[in-house]
Amino acid sequence: MIEELKKIFGSELEVVEESEKEEKEENSLIEMEGTYFRLNSNDKLKKKMFKYLKEIYDEQLKEYAIENFVNDVIKFKFENIDLILNRSEILGLDFYVKRVAVLIEIEDMYAMLKNKKDMIIQKFKKRLYMAVKNVLKKEDILSYVGNNKFLLCTTIADKNIIKKKIINPFIEIFSNLNFEYKIAIGDTYDMPGLEAMGYSYNDSERYMKLGKKFLKSELVYEYSNVGMYMLIDNVDKIGKIKINNYVKNIIEYGEENHVDIIRILETVYKNNMVLSKVEKELDIHRSKIRKMLKEIEKITGSNPMKFENAVMLYLALETWKINK
């Protein structure tokens, strides 16, 4: 940026030493990398251009300051609460407003930047911010947190309202921009907003990771659709072996009787164990379905139609599918 200024203004660009700064002219100086610059020119067009560049650079400085602040907060890099309070006040952010983390990953961001060499990351960020600004509330913070990730710290605590007021508009905007994206919503915590952001952000990162691993076709992840996979993802090696053996016995029964028993069980649970719906979907008489379920009970010792057994069997099937 300094080299660009020198190219534009040449010898009319002066370096101002700290001791030479006058308080009245501070608003007309550009500070870059700890150095102050003044324009010594009577050319109105150049003065206008210098002022415009100062506004852009000041805006970028504030943006970077907010990004650094948000990164420090979500990574719990604060030992002194007074320092964090002072920083939030300087940046015009209310520390105590409740906030929820909405993590956004632009999956093809690197490819887009590579294919458009003139589109540096700053321009990409500006494009994104401009596209979504009308969706955000005054106290919401949208910040770049590295790689291909953006974090929205929203003041809306209700997830249903977040989906309606933020996620749905974002989906429409990203589709219009031809972005490939994923979104994860963190949980709400009953503590001061920015302090809770670290916990909510950790949730959103965990849900993003699980969602991309287990629910690749979905665009939005939260506890309600990835919570089950937190259990599955934490099954240790011995647990996986036991589950595979458990499901293997069921599969062998299906093979011996020339039926796709896994599909039948999945359909039973998909239809909330209402056998009339299963009968209609699979075109198998419900008496035959009942008979097969009874056989599974004999094999496993668990009644597939009893709630707690059904939960265990469903999780076992999901774990088996992932690890087969």
Q: Alpha-carbon dihedral of residues 278, 281, 283, 287, nearest 10 degrees?
A: 10
For residue 81, the model assigns a pLDDT of 75
Residue type, 223: Y
Amino acid at 9: F
Question: Averaged over 146-172, what is the pLDDT?
Answer: 91
CA angle 293, 296, 299 (to 5 degrees): 160
Q: What is the mean pLDDT of residues 138-142?
A: 86
When mean pLDDT is compared across 8-12, 196-200, 248-252, 263-267, the lowest value belongs to 8-12
Average pLDDT over every residue of 35-40:
75
Cβ proximity of 289 and 259 under 8 Å: no
Element (H, E) at 7: helix 2-9
| pLDDT at residue 115 in the model | 61
HEC string of 201-249 equals: HHHHHHHHHHHHHHCCCCCEECHHHHHHHHHHHCCCHHHHHHHHHHHHH
Distances (CA, A) of 75 to 145, 182, 201: 11, 21, 9
pLDDT of residue 152: 93
Half-sphere CA count of 75, side-chain side, radius 13 A:
9
With a cut of 90, say whether residue 21 has pLDDT above it: no
Q: Provide the mean pLDDT of the chain.
A: 84
Q: Which residues pair with 39 in a beta bridge?
A: 13
pLDDT by residue (tens digit) across 101-117?
999 999 877 776 666 55
∠ CA 178-226-188, rounded to 5°:
90
- The amino acid sitting at 29 is L
In DSSP terms, 151 is beta-bridged to 103, 143
> Which of 147-151, 196-200, 211-215, 320-324 is the least confident region?
320-324
With cut-offs at 50, 70 and 90, classify the pLDDT of residue 71. confident
Helix (H) or strand (E) holding 150: strand 149-154
Sheet order of strands, 220-221 included: 141-144, 149-154, 100-106, 181-185, 220-221
pLDDT digits (tens, 9 = 90+) for 273-315: 999 999 999 999 999 999 999 999 998 888 999 998 998 898 8
Is the pLDDT reported for residue 194 higher than 90?
no
Element containing residue 85 per DSSP (H, E): helix 81-90
Distance of CA 288 to the CA centre of its chain: 46
Going by C-beta distance under 8 Å and a sequence separation of 6 or more, which residues neighbour residue 54?
Answer: 28, 29, 30
* Structural domains of the chain, with CATH: 2-61 (no CATH), 70-227 (3.30.70.270), 235-323 (1.10.10.2840)
Percent of the chain with pLDDT over 70: 87
Asked if residue 210 has pLDDT above 90, the reply is yes
What per-residue confidence (pLDDT) applies to 25?
A: 57
SS3 130: helix
Q: What is the pLDDT of residue 282?
A: 92
Please state, in angstroms and rounded to a whole number, the distance separating the CA atoms of residues 97 and 138. Answer: 12
pTM: 0.72
**Higher pLDDT among residues 207 and 34, named by residue:** 207
User: What amino acid is encoded at 166 in this protein?
Assistant: I
